[in-house]
Amino acid sequence: MTNNTLTAMRTREIERDARAWSKFSGMKYTQALRLMEHPLAQGILGERICARDLIRVLTEHPVLSEPIWEIDGDGQETVTDERNTHLGGNGLYAAEDHALSTTEDGYLTVVLTAELLRAFTGTAEPQSDAYSYGLKHTAEEFLGEYLGDYSYVANGQAIWAAAVVGLSIAEANPGELSLNAHFGLVPEQVEYARRMRRNSGSARDGIRAHHHRPPGYLFLQNALQRYRDAGEAPGRWDGVDEAAEPLTSPFHEWLIAQAGDGGIGSRGRLAGDYAAGVRDGDHGVAQQPEDLLTILHNVPADDSFVDSAREAVIDWAKTSPLSTGIRTELLDGDLSDHGGWGAGGGDTERYTFRCPCGAGIILEEHDNVPGFREHDVAIQCDVCRDEWEFVPGLSVRGWRIAPLTA
């Protein structure tokens, strides 16, 4: 298929959308056509959102609509095959009191809110933590930062946007004619976006980990920022979040499985607090056992928790078949210039690490001097030397230790 054919097909689809929106909204066709051609309405995190789909879901989606009843010849009410939408600006069951906006700004607000909802990972069932009224505010704060004209999002617009991108939707309080709805979105991602939008400027620096960031969040943010600052029409996301942070690891799963009651410094308390920090985005996932100690030092944590973490790391190395060895804590490091031995100058590096028992050190040295380049690492502790060995096949700088095999 040639580019000319694709362009012609796209033009026909836009024209069909313009005619449908003109009829639906009462907008002049030429105005509707310009609206369908707006740079922000061409699809950012997915295919262009079709105006005909926006119109269709109002009467075809079971949560947004209800059947039309009529009186038959016997005076009995019977249900027909047709449906009416009850979605209004304020939400579900609000169509009579507050109609949905079909203006240019109203249309683009729904489309942009739909783009934001596309950034999240969907779930098969609606989640009570993905609440339409809360997400309406998140959308307002997100869009308002980059596109001031779209800083108000009605609750009904958020629900409309969720329906058109195919999210699972349920009434928040079935049987009570609630205005609000629950969406099928990963709750941790919803909470991340809420916290990011409620914190501005330097306050966002307090959010230290981004493993729960919705996959398309950064792309959409950068696209809208470029549109605002340079008028650059957004491109299309390829669906890959190149800055995604890991959500789990074998050590992480092993540790959180031990969460439970206990006093300060206990394994159960340590695991529970660590799991809470991951859930809340206060820190990331420990990909390697030694990352747990880095996390605790950065918090910073009570010494009793650090001691418990050291024990957990050793326990993992000794008992888990998934262990690939561990690195211990860096105690000190030194880099010194060296005049060399006639072939030019260089430098020497010396790093000391805590040994597993804590009574000695692991010494890593590098002589970066022309003609005398040497690199070595050794366990300088009589107790640990009899119990631990270096994992074979690793570089000196990439060393790991594991318990000696029987």
pLDDT digits (tens, 9 = 90+) for 144-177: 999 989 999 999 999 999 999 999 999 999 989 9
| Domain enclosing residue 351, as ranges | 330-403
H/E stretch holding 375? strand 374-380
Closest CA to 369 of 343, 393, 388, 351: 343
Q: Do both 339 and 304 map to the same domain?
A: no
Encode pLDDT of 211-226 as tens digits: 999 999 999 999 999 9
Q: How buried is 402 (Cβ within 10 angstroms: 0-12 exposed, 13-18 middle, 19+ buried)?
A: middle
Neighbours of 359 (CB within 10 A): 11
What tens digit of pLDDT does each residue of 36-67 get?
A: 999 999 999 999 999 999 999 999 999 999 98
Q: Average pLDDT of 358-382? A: 87
For residues 262 and 353, membership in a common domain is answered with no
- Shared domain for 63 and 101, answered yes or no, is yes
The reply to whether 25 falls in a domain is no
The C-alpha atoms of residue 198 and residue 365 are separated, in whole angstroms, by 48
Asked, for residue 209, whether it belongs to a domain, the answer is: yes
The answer to whether residue 19 is domain-embedded is no
Q: Are 82 and 213 in a shared domain? A: yes
Residue 355 in contact with residue 379, Cβ under 8 Å?
A: yes
Strands 374-380 and 122-131: unpaired
Residue that is written with structure tokens 């989640």 in the block: 127
* Ranges assigned E (strand) in 100-243: 122-131, 169-171, 181-185
Q: Same domain, yes or no, for 153 and 278? A: no
Last residue of a domain, one of 319, 343, 365: 319
Judgement on whether residues 167 and 136 belong to the same structural domain of the protein:
yes
Is 60 exceeded by the pLDDT of residue 6? Answer: no
Residue 276 is inside which H or E element, if any?
Answer: helix 267-280
pLDDT of 289 = 96
DSSP string spanning 281-322? TSS---SSHHHHHHHHHHTT--HHHHHHHHHHHHHHHHH-TT
| Four-residue CA torsion sign, 120, 124, 130, 131 | positive
Q: Which of 288, 319, 350 is the last residue of a domain?
A: 319
Examine the domain organization and report whether 127 and 254 are in the same domain: no
Place 2 in a pLDDT band, splitting at 50, 70 and 90: low
Number of domains in the chain: 3
Task: State percent of the chain over pLDDT 90.
Answer: 77
Measuring CA to CA, how many Å separate 306 from each of 103, 136, 255, 329, 369? 59, 41, 14, 11, 38
- Looking at the structure, tell me whether residues 152 and 213 fall in a common domain: yes
Q: Point out the least confidently predicted range of 114-118, 151-155, 231-235, 342-346.
A: 342-346
Q: pLDDT grade, residue 133 (50/70/90)?
A: very high
Kindly report the pTM of this predicted structure: 0.83
Q: Check residue 120 and give its pLDDT.
A: 98
Residue after which a domain boundary falls, among 230, 258, 279: 230
